[in-house]
A = this chain, B = another copy of it.
Amino acid sequence: MKALVFDGTALAERLVPRPRPRRGEALIKVRCAGICSTDIEILRGYMSFRGIPGHEFVGTVVSSSPRRLAGSRVVGEINLSCGSCPLCRAGLGTHCTTRSVLGIQGRNGAFAEYLALPVKNLHIVPPSLSDEEAAFTELVAAACEIPAQVDFRRSHSVYVLGDGRLAAMVAQVVRLKTKKVAVLGIDRDKLERIAAVGIETRDLKRRHGKLDRRDFVIDCTGSPEGLPLAAELVRPRGTIILKSTYQGTLEWNPAPIAVNEITVMGSRCGPFDTALDLLERRKIEVLPFLSAVYPLGSWEAAFRRARAADAFKVLIRIA
Protein backbone atom coordinates (compact mmCIF):
# COMPACT_ATOMS: atom_id res chain seq x y z
CA MET A 1 0.00 0.00 0.00
CA LYS A 2 1.01 3.64 -0.35
CA ALA A 3 1.98 5.42 2.85
CA LEU A 4 3.86 8.46 4.11
CA VAL A 5 6.82 7.30 6.18
CA PHE A 6 8.97 9.41 8.51
CA ASP A 7 12.49 8.03 8.94
CA GLY A 8 13.62 10.56 11.54
CA THR A 9 14.84 13.01 8.93
CA ALA A 10 12.21 13.41 6.25
CA LEU A 11 8.73 12.32 5.29
CA ALA A 12 8.46 10.35 2.01
CA GLU A 13 5.81 8.45 0.10
CA ARG A 14 6.67 4.74 0.01
CA LEU A 15 5.17 1.39 -0.84
CA VAL A 16 4.92 -0.66 2.37
CA PRO A 17 3.07 -3.84 3.38
CA ARG A 18 -0.52 -3.48 4.57
CA PRO A 19 -0.82 -3.68 8.35
CA ARG A 20 -1.87 -7.08 9.69
CA PRO A 21 -4.60 -6.66 12.28
CA ARG A 22 -3.94 -8.50 15.54
CA ARG A 23 -6.59 -10.25 17.57
CA GLY A 24 -9.42 -7.82 18.36
CA GLU A 25 -8.33 -5.36 15.72
CA ALA A 26 -9.99 -4.15 12.53
CA LEU A 27 -8.36 -3.42 9.19
CA ILE A 28 -9.52 -0.02 8.02
CA LYS A 29 -9.29 1.53 4.58
CA VAL A 30 -8.52 5.19 5.21
CA ARG A 31 -10.89 7.63 3.46
CA CYS A 32 -9.26 10.82 4.63
CA ALA A 33 -6.80 11.91 7.30
CA GLY A 34 -6.22 15.29 8.93
CA ILE A 35 -2.88 16.98 9.48
CA CYS A 36 -2.54 17.94 13.13
CA SER A 37 0.02 20.23 14.76
CA THR A 38 1.33 17.13 16.49
CA ASP A 39 2.21 15.68 13.07
CA ILE A 40 4.16 18.81 12.22
CA GLU A 41 5.92 18.65 15.60
CA ILE A 42 6.70 14.95 14.97
CA LEU A 43 8.52 15.92 11.76
CA ARG A 44 10.57 18.28 13.93
CA GLY A 45 11.51 15.46 16.31
CA TYR A 46 8.66 15.40 18.85
CA MET A 47 8.20 11.97 20.51
CA SER A 48 11.13 10.62 18.40
CA PHE A 49 8.50 8.89 16.30
CA ARG A 50 9.52 6.77 13.28
CA GLY A 51 7.03 5.23 10.85
CA ILE A 52 3.71 6.36 9.38
CA PRO A 53 2.35 9.43 11.20
CA GLY A 54 -1.27 10.59 11.19
CA HIS A 55 -3.93 10.02 13.84
CA GLU A 56 -7.00 11.94 12.68
CA PHE A 57 -8.90 9.82 10.20
CA VAL A 58 -12.18 8.60 8.79
CA GLY A 59 -12.16 5.17 7.21
CA THR A 60 -14.18 2.16 6.17
CA VAL A 61 -13.81 -1.11 8.04
CA VAL A 62 -12.53 -3.81 5.64
CA SER A 63 -12.43 -6.68 8.07
CA SER A 64 -12.94 -7.03 11.78
CA SER A 65 -13.82 -9.45 14.45
CA PRO A 66 -16.73 -9.29 15.23
CA ARG A 67 -17.59 -9.03 11.58
CA ARG A 68 -20.63 -6.81 11.99
CA LEU A 69 -18.46 -3.68 11.68
CA ALA A 70 -17.29 -4.58 8.16
CA GLY A 71 -18.34 -1.86 5.73
CA SER A 72 -18.99 0.70 8.48
CA ARG A 73 -17.59 4.19 8.26
CA VAL A 74 -15.62 4.85 11.44
CA VAL A 75 -13.37 7.18 13.35
CA GLY A 76 -11.01 5.83 15.99
CA GLU A 77 -9.58 6.65 19.39
CA ILE A 78 -5.82 6.82 19.13
CA ASN A 79 -4.54 5.27 22.38
CA LEU A 80 -3.90 1.50 22.36
CA SER A 81 -3.80 0.49 26.01
CA CYS A 82 -2.86 -2.88 27.53
CA GLY A 83 -6.15 -3.26 29.39
CA SER A 84 -4.58 -4.94 32.40
CA CYS A 85 -2.20 -2.51 34.17
CA PRO A 86 -3.35 -0.56 37.24
CA LEU A 87 -4.02 2.57 35.15
CA CYS A 88 -6.13 0.64 32.64
CA ARG A 89 -8.01 -1.08 35.44
CA ALA A 90 -8.67 2.34 36.96
CA GLY A 91 -10.31 3.44 33.70
CA LEU A 92 -7.33 5.54 32.68
CA GLY A 93 -6.46 3.56 29.55
CA THR A 94 -5.39 6.70 27.71
CA HIS A 95 -2.57 6.89 30.28
CA CYS A 96 -1.51 3.24 30.13
CA THR A 97 2.27 3.33 30.51
CA THR A 98 2.82 0.65 27.90
CA ARG A 99 0.34 2.18 25.47
CA SER A 100 1.05 2.88 21.86
CA VAL A 101 -0.57 5.82 20.11
CA LEU A 102 -1.70 5.76 16.50
CA GLY A 103 0.84 7.64 14.40
CA ILE A 104 2.50 9.18 17.46
CA GLN A 105 4.10 6.45 19.53
CA GLY A 106 5.00 2.89 18.51
CA ARG A 107 2.14 2.42 16.06
CA ASN A 108 1.80 3.23 12.38
CA GLY A 109 -0.84 5.83 11.66
CA ALA A 110 -3.32 7.18 9.18
CA PHE A 111 -1.29 8.71 6.33
CA ALA A 112 -1.64 5.41 4.48
CA GLU A 113 -4.18 3.47 2.48
CA TYR A 114 -4.84 1.15 5.41
CA LEU A 115 -4.45 1.14 9.15
CA ALA A 116 -5.25 -1.31 11.93
CA LEU A 117 -6.88 -0.40 15.23
CA PRO A 118 -8.61 -2.36 18.01
CA VAL A 119 -12.35 -2.66 17.42
CA LYS A 120 -12.96 -1.20 20.88
CA ASN A 121 -11.33 2.06 19.71
CA LEU A 122 -13.76 2.54 16.83
CA HIS A 123 -16.85 4.72 16.68
CA ILE A 124 -19.36 4.57 13.83
CA VAL A 125 -19.83 7.91 12.09
CA PRO A 126 -23.48 9.09 11.88
CA PRO A 127 -24.63 9.16 8.23
CA SER A 128 -25.48 12.87 8.42
CA LEU A 129 -21.81 13.77 8.81
CA SER A 130 -19.55 14.09 5.78
CA ASP A 131 -16.06 12.60 5.79
CA GLU A 132 -14.67 16.10 6.08
CA GLU A 133 -16.77 16.82 9.15
CA ALA A 134 -16.04 13.46 10.75
CA ALA A 135 -12.31 14.03 10.27
CA PHE A 136 -12.61 16.71 12.96
CA THR A 137 -13.80 14.18 15.57
CA GLU A 138 -10.43 13.64 17.25
CA LEU A 139 -9.85 17.40 17.45
CA VAL A 140 -13.35 18.09 18.84
CA ALA A 141 -12.89 15.24 21.33
CA ALA A 142 -9.64 16.87 22.54
CA ALA A 143 -11.66 20.04 23.11
CA CYS A 144 -14.38 18.04 24.94
CA GLU A 145 -11.75 16.76 27.38
CA ILE A 146 -11.71 20.21 29.01
CA PRO A 147 -15.31 20.25 30.32
CA ALA A 148 -14.76 16.59 31.28
CA GLN A 149 -11.93 17.75 33.60
CA VAL A 150 -13.31 21.06 34.80
CA ASP A 151 -16.69 22.02 36.24
CA PHE A 152 -17.49 25.20 34.36
CA ARG A 153 -20.18 27.45 35.72
CA ARG A 154 -22.17 29.89 33.54
CA SER A 155 -20.52 32.77 35.44
CA HIS A 156 -16.95 31.69 34.69
CA SER A 157 -14.85 33.81 32.37
CA VAL A 158 -12.46 32.16 29.92
CA TYR A 159 -9.69 33.10 27.51
CA VAL A 160 -8.60 30.72 24.78
CA LEU A 161 -5.04 31.51 23.67
CA GLY A 162 -4.24 30.76 20.03
CA ASP A 163 -6.12 31.23 16.80
CA GLY A 164 -5.68 27.81 15.22
CA ARG A 165 -8.00 24.87 14.64
CA LEU A 166 -7.77 23.60 18.23
CA ALA A 167 -8.55 27.05 19.63
CA ALA A 168 -11.57 27.30 17.32
CA MET A 169 -12.93 23.97 18.58
CA VAL A 170 -12.12 24.63 22.25
CA ALA A 171 -13.82 28.03 22.20
CA GLN A 172 -16.98 26.53 20.70
CA VAL A 173 -17.07 23.65 23.19
CA VAL A 174 -16.43 25.89 26.19
CA ARG A 175 -19.08 28.36 25.01
CA LEU A 176 -21.68 25.66 25.49
CA LYS A 177 -20.84 25.74 29.23
CA THR A 178 -20.04 29.36 29.99
CA LYS A 179 -20.93 32.64 28.28
CA LYS A 180 -17.80 34.77 28.66
CA VAL A 181 -15.31 33.25 26.24
CA ALA A 182 -12.80 35.18 24.13
CA VAL A 183 -10.13 33.89 21.76
CA LEU A 184 -6.85 35.81 21.86
CA GLY A 185 -4.72 35.46 18.74
CA ILE A 186 -2.38 37.23 16.37
CA ASP A 187 -3.61 36.31 12.88
CA ARG A 188 -6.29 38.75 11.79
CA ASP A 189 -7.81 36.53 9.11
CA LYS A 190 -8.06 33.51 11.35
CA LEU A 191 -9.57 35.58 14.15
CA GLU A 192 -12.15 36.86 11.68
CA ARG A 193 -13.11 33.33 10.74
CA ILE A 194 -13.41 32.39 14.41
CA ALA A 195 -15.52 35.51 15.02
CA ALA A 196 -17.74 34.43 12.12
CA VAL A 197 -19.04 31.48 14.19
CA GLY A 198 -20.02 33.90 16.95
CA ILE A 199 -16.97 33.75 19.19
CA GLU A 200 -15.55 36.95 20.68
CA THR A 201 -11.95 37.49 19.55
CA ARG A 202 -9.13 39.91 20.35
CA ASP A 203 -6.05 40.59 18.28
CA LEU A 204 -3.01 40.63 20.57
CA LYS A 205 -1.06 42.57 17.94
CA ARG A 206 -3.48 45.47 17.97
CA ARG A 207 -3.70 48.15 20.57
CA HIS A 208 -6.29 47.27 23.15
CA GLY A 209 -7.09 48.24 26.70
CA LYS A 210 -5.66 46.22 29.54
CA LEU A 211 -7.00 42.67 29.37
CA ASP A 212 -9.03 41.64 32.40
CA ARG A 213 -7.90 38.56 34.27
CA ARG A 214 -10.09 35.52 33.84
CA ASP A 215 -11.06 32.44 35.85
CA PHE A 216 -9.71 30.08 33.17
CA VAL A 217 -7.10 30.50 30.46
CA ILE A 218 -6.76 27.67 27.95
CA ASP A 219 -3.44 27.49 26.14
CA CYS A 220 -3.97 26.26 22.57
CA THR A 221 -1.03 28.18 21.11
CA GLY A 222 1.14 25.12 20.56
CA SER A 223 4.05 27.36 21.43
CA PRO A 224 6.35 27.99 24.40
CA GLU A 225 4.92 31.52 24.66
CA GLY A 226 1.48 30.23 25.64
CA LEU A 227 2.04 29.23 29.26
CA PRO A 228 3.79 32.44 30.42
CA LEU A 229 1.07 34.53 28.75
CA ALA A 230 -1.62 32.37 30.36
CA ALA A 231 -0.03 32.96 33.77
CA GLU A 232 -0.32 36.73 33.18
CA LEU A 233 -3.96 36.55 32.17
CA VAL A 234 -5.42 34.16 34.74
CA ARG A 235 -6.70 35.53 38.03
CA PRO A 236 -5.06 34.54 41.32
CA ARG A 237 -6.27 31.03 42.28
CA GLY A 238 -7.51 30.63 38.71
CA THR A 239 -6.87 27.70 36.37
CA ILE A 240 -4.76 27.33 33.23
CA ILE A 241 -5.59 24.43 30.94
CA LEU A 242 -2.49 23.36 29.04
CA LYS A 243 -3.38 21.86 25.65
CA SER A 244 -0.15 22.79 23.86
CA THR A 245 2.56 20.27 23.18
CA TYR A 246 5.54 21.15 21.03
CA GLN A 247 9.09 20.23 20.26
CA GLY A 248 11.43 22.70 21.95
CA THR A 249 12.02 24.34 25.26
CA LEU A 250 10.17 26.77 27.45
CA GLU A 251 12.44 29.29 29.23
CA TRP A 252 10.49 30.78 32.06
CA ASN A 253 10.35 31.46 35.75
CA PRO A 254 7.20 29.74 37.05
CA ALA A 255 7.10 31.85 40.25
CA PRO A 256 3.65 33.31 39.32
CA ILE A 257 2.20 29.79 39.54
CA ALA A 258 3.28 29.45 43.17
CA VAL A 259 2.80 33.10 44.19
CA ASN A 260 -0.69 33.44 42.67
CA GLU A 261 -1.60 29.85 43.59
CA ILE A 262 -2.57 29.10 40.03
CA THR A 263 -3.62 25.59 39.00
CA VAL A 264 -2.25 24.28 35.71
CA MET A 265 -4.13 21.28 34.32
CA GLY A 266 -2.71 19.30 31.46
CA SER A 267 -5.33 18.11 28.98
CA ARG A 268 -4.98 15.72 26.06
CA CYS A 269 -7.29 13.28 24.27
CA GLY A 270 -10.99 13.38 24.94
CA PRO A 271 -14.25 11.48 24.58
CA PHE A 272 -15.18 10.57 20.98
CA ASP A 273 -18.82 9.87 21.82
CA THR A 274 -19.33 13.40 23.17
CA ALA A 275 -17.57 14.84 20.11
CA LEU A 276 -19.66 12.85 17.61
CA ASP A 277 -22.80 13.82 19.47
CA LEU A 278 -21.93 17.55 19.31
CA LEU A 279 -21.06 17.23 15.62
CA GLU A 280 -24.25 15.37 14.79
CA ARG A 281 -26.39 17.86 16.71
CA ARG A 282 -24.58 20.71 14.88
CA LYS A 283 -23.51 22.30 18.17
CA ILE A 284 -20.00 22.81 16.78
CA GLU A 285 -19.18 24.28 13.40
CA VAL A 286 -16.17 22.66 11.78
CA LEU A 287 -16.37 23.27 8.00
CA PRO A 288 -15.50 26.99 8.34
CA PHE A 289 -12.20 25.68 9.69
CA LEU A 290 -11.42 23.35 6.81
CA SER A 291 -8.73 25.08 4.79
CA ALA A 292 -8.01 22.54 2.05
CA VAL A 293 -8.27 18.92 0.96
CA TYR A 294 -5.40 17.37 -1.03
CA PRO A 295 -5.05 13.95 -2.65
CA LEU A 296 -2.41 11.67 -1.12
CA GLY A 297 -0.09 12.26 -4.11
CA SER A 298 0.00 15.97 -3.21
CA TRP A 299 1.01 15.35 0.39
CA GLU A 300 3.96 17.74 0.16
CA ALA A 301 1.65 20.58 -0.80
CA ALA A 302 -0.75 19.50 1.94
CA PHE A 303 1.94 19.71 4.62
CA ARG A 304 3.14 23.06 3.25
CA ARG A 305 -0.41 24.37 3.48
CA ALA A 306 -0.92 22.96 6.99
CA ARG A 307 2.25 24.74 8.13
CA ALA A 308 1.15 28.10 6.70
CA ALA A 309 0.27 30.71 9.32
CA ASP A 310 -3.20 31.26 7.85
CA ALA A 311 -4.25 27.59 7.65
CA PHE A 312 -6.79 25.87 9.83
CA LYS A 313 -7.39 22.16 9.14
CA VAL A 314 -5.86 20.52 6.06
CA LEU A 315 -7.07 17.06 5.05
CA ILE A 316 -5.50 14.42 2.84
CA ARG A 317 -8.06 12.47 0.79
CA ILE A 318 -6.79 8.91 0.45
CA ALA A 319 -9.78 6.95 -0.89
A227 vs B258: C-alpha distance in the bound complex, in angstroms? Answer: 12
**Which residue of chain B has its CB nearest to the CB of A243?**
B258
Q: Are B258 and A244 in contact (CB under 8 A)?
A: yes
Interface of chain A residues 105 through 120 with chain B (CB within 8 A)? none
Q: Are B92 and A236 in contact (CB under 8 A)?
A: yes
A289 vs B271: C-alpha distance in the bound complex, in angstroms? Answer: 49
A264 vs B261: C-alpha distance in the bound complex, in angstroms? Answer: 10
**Which residue of chain B has its CB nearest to the CB of A41?**
B255
Do A257 and B264 contact each other (CB < 8 Å), given the known contacts A250-B250, A252-B249?
yes
Do A92 and B237 contact each other (CB < 8 Å), given the known contacts A242-B258, A254-B227?
yes
A141 vs B68: C-alpha distance in the bound complex, in angstroms? Answer: 62
**B residues less than 8 Å from A244 (CB atoms):** 258
A109 vs B134: C-alpha distance in the bound complex, in angstroms? Answer: 61
Question: When each residue 49-87 of chain A gets 1 if its CB lies under 8 Å from chain B and 0 otherwise, what string results?
Answer: 000000000000000000000000000000000000001
Question: When each residue 239-277 of chain A gets 1 if its CB lies under 8 Å from chain B and 0 otherwise, what string results?
Answer: 000111111111111111111111111111000000000
Q: Per a CB cutoff under 8 Å, which of B243, B253, B261 touches A95?
A: B261
**B residues less than 8 Å from A243 (CB atoms):** 258
**B residues less than 8 Å from A291 (CB atoms):** none
Do A268 and B258 contact each other (CB < 8 Å), given the known contacts A236-B92, A251-B251?
yes
Q: Are B261 and A254 in contact (CB under 8 A)?
A: no
Q: Shortest CB–CB separation between residue A266 and chain B, in angstroms?
A: 4
- Give 14 CB contacts A-B under 8 Å: A95-B236, A95-B260, A242-B254, A242-B257, A243-B258, A245-B255, A245-B259, A250-B251, A251-B251, A257-B264, A258-B266, A261-B265, A261-B266, A262-B265
